[in-house]
Amino acid sequence: MAMRKAKVFAGIIVLILLPIVVHGISNEANLRPIIGILSQPGDPAPEGESYIAASYVKWLESAGARVVPIFYDMDAQDIERRFAVINGLLLPGGGATLEPGHRFYDTARYLVELALKANDNGDYFPVHGTCLGMETLSVIISSNYTLLGEFDAEDAPAPLLYTNEAAASHLLRSLPPDVVTDLQNKPIAMENHMNGGGLSMTAFLENPALGRFFRVVSLSLDKSGAAYISTLEGRNYPFTATQWHPEKNAYEWTPHLHIPHTTDAIRMSQEVANFFVAEARRNLHMAKNIIEEDELLIYNFKPVFTGKHEHEGEERDFEQSYFFKKISRGL
Ligand SMILES: *[C@@H]1O[C@H](CO)[C@@H](O)[C@H](O)[C@H]1NC(C)=O
């Protein structure tokens, strides 16, 4: 009898406390963050389709987020509908023409404009660009389509050379101190850019719009010793950009690249994901209801084992990829 009373009593206490707990947490953070990832055309997508490398999806999921794909060939209305649902935007790596009139660039720019406007209205909305994503952000902010330089940093993991401004970096202050030191002392940041990929300090200084918007957090050296900007972050906006690929350490395994898989590198990868997803918990964008959320999530698509070897010596960059049919042909 006493047991039963105790249980009832405990149940009442839980019922009283539950709304306080739930309410208290929801005041601080969005516990169901969703990140939008922009798809792009080109290899490994079949002709007429676009893709997202699954490593970006898994990387975000590892930090407690879910993913909504945003197709590069969507119209404005569909982009806006997704923007209302996502709590952060990831512009991934790859290769695309970064000029107006090219669909990938135009869609990326529209999303970035929506993110800038949201932040201007007091809505904390983070954007992260990786590799091509960083280049895309730089071109959008500078409106200079000949901004990028020639660097040879293909398959060239590198340490980060922190600048004087790194001391003010929100990203570095948010990462655990040992991860910040590891990034500086060990080549665990996976760099893989070449031919017209990369931003020099000279170009950064020649385009003052960049310096107004971004602080340079780190530089890195390519194979010939030339310095390129490896980490940028917004001065007044929660934007971060890395020329390096934090998603590859844990999720890409192609043997032809020297992706750092040490425990330090994996920890770094996870902590950068934790940082970005924590940023995304700071706004309350959400789907109208659970049915809309279901409809938009990437779970509607199956990743393909694109890294599978048909024979030895054949190497593909992405272990798994998602493919999306052209919008005009329907989904
Ligand atoms: C674009 O950036 C490059 C590299 O800094 C510079 O040489 C060029 O003058 C810039 N173009 C314009 C239109 O500002």
Among residues 230, 215, 96, the alpha carbon closest in space to that of 158 is found at 230
- 207 touches ligand 1 (CB under 6 Å): yes
Among residues 241, 243, 246, the alpha carbon closest in space to that of 271 is found at 246
pLDDT of residue 242: 98
Task: State phi, psi for 182 to the nearest 5 degrees.
Answer: -60, -45
Q: What distance in angstroms lies between residue 205's CA and the mean position of ligand 1's atoms? A: 10
- What tokens appear for 88 in the block? 């952060």
Task: State phi, psi for 34 to the nearest 5 degrees.
Answer: -130, 130
DSSP 101-125: TSHHHHHHHHHHHHHHHHHHTT---
- 199 touches ligand 1 (CB under 6 Å): no
CATH code that applies to domain 30-324: 3.40.50.880
Enzyme catalytic residues: 131, 245
d(CA 84, CA 287): 7
Residue pair 41/307 in contact by the 8 Å Cβ criterion: no
Ligand 1 atom at minimal distance to the Cα of residue 203: 5
Q: What distance in angstroms lies between residue 142's CA and the mean position of ligand 1's atoms? A: 9
Give, as one character, the DSSP assignment of residue 2: H
User: What is the three-class DSSP state of 85?
Assistant: coil
d(CA 307, CA 327): 26
pLDDT of residue 13: 54
Mean pLDDT, consecutive 10-residue stretches, the chain (331 aa), reads: 55 50 56 97 94 98 98 96 98 95 97 98 97 97 96 94 97 98 98 87 98 98 96 98 98 96 98 98 96 97 95 89 78 43
DSSP 152-215: -BTT--B--EE-GGGGG-HHHHHS-HHHHHHHHHS--B---B-SS----HHHHHH-HHHHHHEE
List of long-range contacts for 285-293, beta carbons under 8 Å, 24+ apart: 285/34, 285/83, 285/84, 285/85, 285/86, 285/87, 285/123, 285/125, 286/30, 286/32, 286/34, 286/85, 287/84, 287/85, 292/85, 293/34, 293/85
pTM for the model: 0.90
Q: Residue of the nearest CA to atom 13 in ligand 1?
A: 144
Among residues 329, 76, 80, the alpha carbon closest in space to that of 68 is found at 80
The neighbour count for residue 69, using CB atoms within 10 Å, is 22
Give, as one character, the DSSP assignment of residue 312: T
pLDDT of residue 21: 45
Query: Model confidence over 221-263: pLDDT tens digits?
Result: 999 999 999 999 999 999 999 999 999 999 999 999 999 999 9
- 138 touches ligand 1 (CB under 6 Å): no
Q: Where are the chain's structural domains? A: 30-324
pLDDT of residue 196: 72
User: What is the three-class DSSP state of 151?
Assistant: coil
pLDDT of residue 312: 85
- 203 touches ligand 1 (CB under 6 Å): yes
